[in-house]
Amino acid sequence: MQKISDELRREKKTIGFVPTMGYIHEGHLSLIDVSNRNSDITVASIFVNPTQFGAGEDYREYPRDIEMDKMLLKKRRCSFLFYPDVDAMYSKYFKTEVYVKDLSRFLCGIRRKTHFKGVTTVVAKLFNIVKPDIAVFGQKDAQQAIIIKRMVEDLNYNTKVIIAPIIREKDGLAMSSRNVYLAKGERKDATVIYNSLKETEHMIENGVRNVSIIVRRIREMISSKKSARIDYIKAVETKDLKPVNEIKGEVLIAVACYFGKARFIDNIIVKV
Protein backbone atom coordinates (compact mmCIF):
# COMPACT_ATOMS: atom_id res chain seq x y z
CA MET A 1 0.00 0.00 0.00
CA GLN A 2 2.83 2.40 0.83
CA LYS A 3 4.40 1.72 -2.56
CA ILE A 4 1.09 2.32 -4.33
CA SER A 5 0.62 5.57 -2.43
CA ASP A 6 4.17 6.73 -3.25
CA GLU A 7 3.55 5.96 -6.91
CA LEU A 8 0.24 7.86 -6.92
CA ARG A 9 1.93 10.83 -5.29
CA ARG A 10 4.72 10.74 -7.89
CA GLU A 11 2.00 10.91 -10.52
CA LYS A 12 0.71 14.04 -8.72
CA LYS A 13 -2.55 12.32 -7.83
CA THR A 14 -4.23 13.37 -4.59
CA ILE A 15 -5.26 10.51 -2.33
CA GLY A 16 -8.54 10.43 -0.41
CA PHE A 17 -8.89 7.84 2.34
CA VAL A 18 -11.91 6.24 4.02
CA PRO A 19 -11.03 3.92 6.93
CA THR A 20 -13.76 1.43 7.88
CA MET A 21 -14.35 -1.83 9.69
CA GLY A 22 -16.27 -3.15 6.70
CA TYR A 23 -19.74 -4.63 6.31
CA ILE A 24 -20.17 -1.71 3.99
CA HIS A 25 -23.43 0.25 3.97
CA GLU A 26 -24.68 3.48 2.46
CA GLY A 27 -23.10 5.49 5.32
CA HIS A 28 -19.63 4.24 4.34
CA LEU A 29 -20.38 4.73 0.64
CA SER A 30 -21.38 8.35 1.23
CA LEU A 31 -17.84 8.88 2.59
CA ILE A 32 -16.43 7.34 -0.59
CA ASP A 33 -18.47 9.89 -2.58
CA VAL A 34 -17.11 12.75 -0.46
CA SER A 35 -13.58 11.43 -0.93
CA ASN A 36 -14.04 11.12 -4.69
CA ARG A 37 -15.33 14.69 -4.85
CA ASN A 38 -12.29 15.96 -2.95
CA SER A 39 -9.42 13.87 -4.36
CA ASP A 40 -8.23 12.10 -7.53
CA ILE A 41 -8.06 8.59 -6.09
CA THR A 42 -9.97 7.03 -3.23
CA VAL A 43 -8.50 4.34 -0.98
CA ALA A 44 -10.72 2.56 1.53
CA SER A 45 -9.51 0.28 4.29
CA ILE A 46 -11.34 -2.56 5.96
CA PHE A 47 -9.87 -3.62 9.25
CA VAL A 48 -11.81 -4.86 12.24
CA ASN A 49 -9.31 -3.47 14.68
CA PRO A 50 -9.05 -5.73 17.75
CA THR A 51 -7.45 -3.05 19.95
CA GLN A 52 -10.50 -0.82 19.87
CA PHE A 53 -12.78 -3.53 21.26
CA GLY A 54 -12.91 -4.02 25.02
CA ALA A 55 -13.23 -7.32 26.87
CA GLY A 56 -16.74 -8.67 26.41
CA GLU A 57 -17.39 -6.52 23.34
CA ASP A 58 -18.34 -7.84 19.91
CA TYR A 59 -14.93 -8.22 18.16
CA ARG A 60 -15.57 -11.85 17.23
CA GLU A 61 -19.20 -11.41 16.22
CA TYR A 62 -18.62 -8.17 14.32
CA PRO A 63 -20.30 -8.71 10.91
CA ARG A 64 -17.98 -9.35 7.99
CA ASP A 65 -18.62 -9.86 4.25
CA ILE A 66 -15.53 -9.00 2.26
CA GLU A 67 -16.80 -10.12 -1.15
CA MET A 68 -19.92 -7.97 -0.89
CA ASP A 69 -17.82 -5.07 0.44
CA LYS A 70 -15.39 -5.27 -2.51
CA MET A 71 -18.30 -5.20 -4.94
CA LEU A 72 -20.00 -2.22 -3.30
CA LEU A 73 -16.77 -0.21 -3.03
CA LYS A 74 -15.83 -0.89 -6.64
CA LYS A 75 -19.27 0.15 -7.86
CA ARG A 76 -18.87 3.44 -6.02
CA ARG A 77 -15.52 4.16 -7.72
CA CYS A 78 -13.25 3.36 -4.81
CA SER A 79 -9.93 2.59 -6.55
CA PHE A 80 -8.02 0.72 -3.85
CA LEU A 81 -8.98 -1.36 -0.87
CA PHE A 82 -6.43 -1.87 1.90
CA TYR A 83 -7.46 -5.01 3.73
CA PRO A 84 -4.68 -6.14 6.07
CA ASP A 85 -4.88 -9.03 8.48
CA VAL A 86 -4.30 -8.53 12.20
CA ASP A 87 -0.73 -9.91 12.21
CA ALA A 88 0.29 -7.48 9.47
CA MET A 89 -0.92 -4.53 11.56
CA TYR A 90 0.26 -5.75 14.99
CA SER A 91 3.43 -7.80 15.06
CA LYS A 92 4.22 -9.72 18.22
CA TYR A 93 6.72 -6.95 19.12
CA PHE A 94 4.16 -4.17 18.87
CA LYS A 95 4.50 -1.58 21.69
CA THR A 96 3.55 1.90 20.44
CA GLU A 97 0.24 3.56 21.20
CA VAL A 98 -1.28 6.89 20.29
CA TYR A 99 -3.58 8.38 22.91
CA VAL A 100 -5.44 11.67 22.72
CA LYS A 101 -5.69 12.83 26.32
CA ASP A 102 -8.90 14.05 27.97
CA LEU A 103 -11.09 13.84 24.84
CA SER A 104 -10.83 10.03 24.95
CA ARG A 105 -12.15 9.90 28.53
CA PHE A 106 -15.61 11.48 28.12
CA LEU A 107 -18.85 10.13 26.62
CA CYS A 108 -18.14 6.72 25.05
CA GLY A 109 -14.74 6.70 26.80
CA ILE A 110 -16.40 6.30 30.18
CA ARG A 111 -17.74 2.83 29.38
CA ARG A 112 -15.17 1.98 26.69
CA LYS A 113 -11.95 2.91 28.51
CA THR A 114 -9.42 1.77 25.90
CA HIS A 115 -11.56 2.20 22.79
CA PHE A 116 -10.27 5.54 21.51
CA LYS A 117 -6.64 4.60 22.17
CA GLY A 118 -7.23 1.66 19.84
CA VAL A 119 -8.83 3.93 17.27
CA THR A 120 -6.14 6.64 17.30
CA THR A 121 -3.34 4.07 17.23
CA VAL A 122 -4.76 2.27 14.23
CA VAL A 123 -5.67 5.47 12.38
CA ALA A 124 -2.15 6.82 12.96
CA LYS A 125 -0.79 3.61 11.44
CA LEU A 126 -3.24 3.68 8.54
CA PHE A 127 -2.32 7.30 7.77
CA ASN A 128 1.37 6.32 7.61
CA ILE A 129 0.52 3.44 5.30
CA VAL A 130 -1.95 5.16 2.97
CA LYS A 131 -0.37 8.66 3.15
CA PRO A 132 -3.66 10.38 2.32
CA ASP A 133 -4.09 14.04 1.35
CA ILE A 134 -7.59 13.92 2.74
CA ALA A 135 -9.37 11.47 5.04
CA VAL A 136 -13.13 11.26 5.44
CA PHE A 137 -14.86 10.28 8.68
CA GLY A 138 -18.55 10.20 9.59
CA GLN A 139 -20.35 12.53 11.97
CA LYS A 140 -22.10 9.38 13.20
CA ASP A 141 -19.04 8.80 15.42
CA ALA A 142 -18.92 12.40 16.61
CA GLN A 143 -16.41 11.88 19.41
CA GLN A 144 -14.13 9.86 17.15
CA ALA A 145 -14.23 12.67 14.56
CA ILE A 146 -13.24 15.27 17.18
CA ILE A 147 -10.44 13.05 18.53
CA ILE A 148 -9.03 12.28 15.07
CA LYS A 149 -9.02 15.99 14.20
CA ARG A 150 -7.11 16.69 17.43
CA MET A 151 -4.58 13.92 16.68
CA VAL A 152 -4.00 15.15 13.12
CA GLU A 153 -3.31 18.67 14.34
CA ASP A 154 -1.22 17.61 17.33
CA LEU A 155 0.96 15.15 15.36
CA ASN A 156 1.24 17.39 12.27
CA TYR A 157 -0.22 14.91 9.84
CA ASN A 158 -0.30 16.42 6.38
CA THR A 159 -3.86 15.20 5.93
CA LYS A 160 -7.06 17.21 5.78
CA VAL A 161 -9.87 15.62 7.77
CA ILE A 162 -13.37 15.97 6.36
CA ILE A 163 -16.40 15.06 8.47
CA ALA A 164 -19.41 13.86 6.46
CA PRO A 165 -23.06 13.90 7.60
CA ILE A 166 -24.92 10.95 9.12
CA ILE A 167 -26.75 8.75 6.62
CA ARG A 168 -29.99 7.29 7.95
CA GLU A 169 -32.49 4.59 7.13
CA LYS A 170 -35.92 5.82 5.93
CA ASP A 171 -37.26 5.74 9.49
CA GLY A 172 -34.33 7.78 10.81
CA LEU A 173 -32.17 5.07 12.38
CA ALA A 174 -28.51 5.92 11.70
CA MET A 175 -26.99 3.34 9.39
CA SER A 176 -24.50 1.07 11.13
CA SER A 177 -22.92 -2.31 10.49
CA ARG A 178 -24.26 -3.26 13.93
CA ASN A 179 -27.91 -2.72 12.90
CA VAL A 180 -28.00 -6.39 11.80
CA TYR A 181 -27.79 -7.35 15.49
CA LEU A 182 -31.27 -5.93 16.09
CA ALA A 183 -34.15 -8.38 16.44
CA LYS A 184 -37.41 -7.26 14.86
CA GLY A 185 -38.89 -5.62 17.96
CA GLU A 186 -35.59 -3.99 18.89
CA ARG A 187 -35.21 -2.61 15.36
CA LYS A 188 -38.58 -0.90 15.73
CA ASP A 189 -37.74 0.41 19.21
CA ALA A 190 -34.37 1.72 17.99
CA THR A 191 -36.04 4.44 15.90
CA VAL A 192 -36.71 6.20 19.20
CA ILE A 193 -33.10 7.40 19.32
CA TYR A 194 -33.45 9.64 16.28
CA ASN A 195 -37.03 10.56 17.16
CA SER A 196 -35.86 11.81 20.54
CA LEU A 197 -33.08 13.84 18.89
CA LYS A 198 -35.61 15.34 16.43
CA GLU A 199 -37.84 16.22 19.36
CA THR A 200 -34.85 17.95 20.93
CA GLU A 201 -34.44 20.04 17.81
CA HIS A 202 -38.08 21.10 18.01
CA MET A 203 -37.75 21.96 21.68
CA ILE A 204 -34.74 24.13 20.94
CA GLU A 205 -36.51 25.79 18.00
CA ASN A 206 -39.31 26.57 20.44
CA GLY A 207 -36.91 28.30 22.79
CA VAL A 208 -35.95 25.59 25.31
CA ARG A 209 -32.32 26.15 26.39
CA ASN A 210 -32.09 24.22 29.64
CA VAL A 211 -30.11 21.02 29.08
CA SER A 212 -31.64 19.10 31.99
CA ILE A 213 -35.12 19.62 30.51
CA ILE A 214 -33.90 18.36 27.14
CA VAL A 215 -32.05 15.36 28.60
CA ARG A 216 -35.08 14.46 30.72
CA ARG A 217 -37.31 14.42 27.63
CA ILE A 218 -34.86 12.23 25.67
CA ARG A 219 -34.57 9.88 28.64
CA GLU A 220 -38.35 9.68 28.94
CA MET A 221 -38.79 8.86 25.25
CA ILE A 222 -36.06 6.22 25.09
CA SER A 223 -37.04 4.62 28.41
CA SER A 224 -40.57 4.11 27.09
CA LYS A 225 -39.18 1.37 24.80
CA LYS A 226 -39.01 -2.04 26.39
CA SER A 227 -35.79 -3.19 24.74
CA ALA A 228 -33.82 0.05 25.36
CA ARG A 229 -31.17 0.56 28.03
CA ILE A 230 -29.60 4.01 28.13
CA ASP A 231 -25.83 4.38 28.47
CA TYR A 232 -25.64 8.19 28.30
CA ILE A 233 -27.44 11.29 27.06
CA LYS A 234 -25.10 14.29 26.98
CA ALA A 235 -24.97 17.84 25.70
CA VAL A 236 -21.37 18.97 25.21
CA GLU A 237 -19.26 21.60 23.49
CA THR A 238 -18.22 20.45 20.02
CA LYS A 239 -14.58 21.53 20.44
CA ASP A 240 -13.61 19.93 23.76
CA LEU A 241 -16.59 17.73 24.70
CA LYS A 242 -17.09 19.65 27.96
CA PRO A 243 -20.65 19.32 29.31
CA VAL A 244 -22.93 22.34 28.96
CA ASN A 245 -25.93 23.27 31.10
CA GLU A 246 -27.45 25.58 28.56
CA ILE A 247 -27.83 25.43 24.78
CA LYS A 248 -25.72 28.32 23.53
CA GLY A 249 -23.61 28.51 20.36
CA GLU A 250 -22.83 25.10 18.88
CA VAL A 251 -23.72 22.07 21.01
CA LEU A 252 -23.36 18.35 20.34
CA ILE A 253 -26.21 16.28 21.74
CA ALA A 254 -25.07 12.67 21.86
CA VAL A 255 -26.87 9.52 22.88
CA ALA A 256 -25.63 5.97 23.45
CA CYS A 257 -27.93 3.14 24.31
CA TYR A 258 -28.25 -0.60 24.18
CA PHE A 259 -30.94 -2.55 22.39
CA GLY A 260 -30.50 -6.15 23.39
CA LYS A 261 -26.77 -6.80 23.64
CA ALA A 262 -25.67 -4.26 21.06
CA ARG A 263 -24.76 -0.65 21.72
CA PHE A 264 -25.83 2.16 19.40
CA ILE A 265 -24.83 5.80 19.19
CA ASP A 266 -26.35 8.80 17.48
CA ASN A 267 -26.10 12.57 17.73
CA ILE A 268 -27.13 15.93 16.42
CA ILE A 269 -25.35 19.28 16.44
CA VAL A 270 -27.57 22.23 17.29
CA LYS A 271 -26.69 25.87 16.72
CA VAL A 272 -28.48 28.80 18.34
For the window 2-31, what string marks contact with ligand AMP as x by the rule CB under 6 A?
------------------xx-----xx-xx
**166 near ligand AMP (CB under 6 A):** yes
Catalytic status, residue 28: yes
Query: How many Å apart are CA 264 and CA 227, to the nearest integer?
Result: 12
CA 197 to chain centre: 18
Applying the rule CB under 6 A, the residues between 129 and 148 that interact with ligand AMP are 137-138, 140-141
124, 161, 174, 193: which one binds ligand AMP (CB under 6 A): 174
- For ligand AMP, which is the closer residue by CB, 34 or 251? 34
C-beta nearest to ligand AMP: residue: 138
CB-based burial, 120-154: b 16+ in 10 Å, e otherwise: bbbbbbbbebbbbbbbbbbbbbbbbbbbbbbbbee
Secondary structure (DSSP) of 158-221: S-EEEEEPPPB-TTSPBP-GGGGG--HHHHHHTHHHHHHHHHHHHHHHTT--BHHHHHHHHHHH
CB 236 within 8 A of CB 259: no
- For ligand AMP, which is the closer residue by CB, 175 or 241? 175
**255 near ligand AMP (CB under 6 A):** no
Shortest Å, Cβ 28 to ligand AMP: 5
Q: By the criterion CB under 6 A, which residues form the site for ligand AMP?
A: 20-21, 27-28, 30-31, 137-138, 140-141, 164, 166-167, 174-177
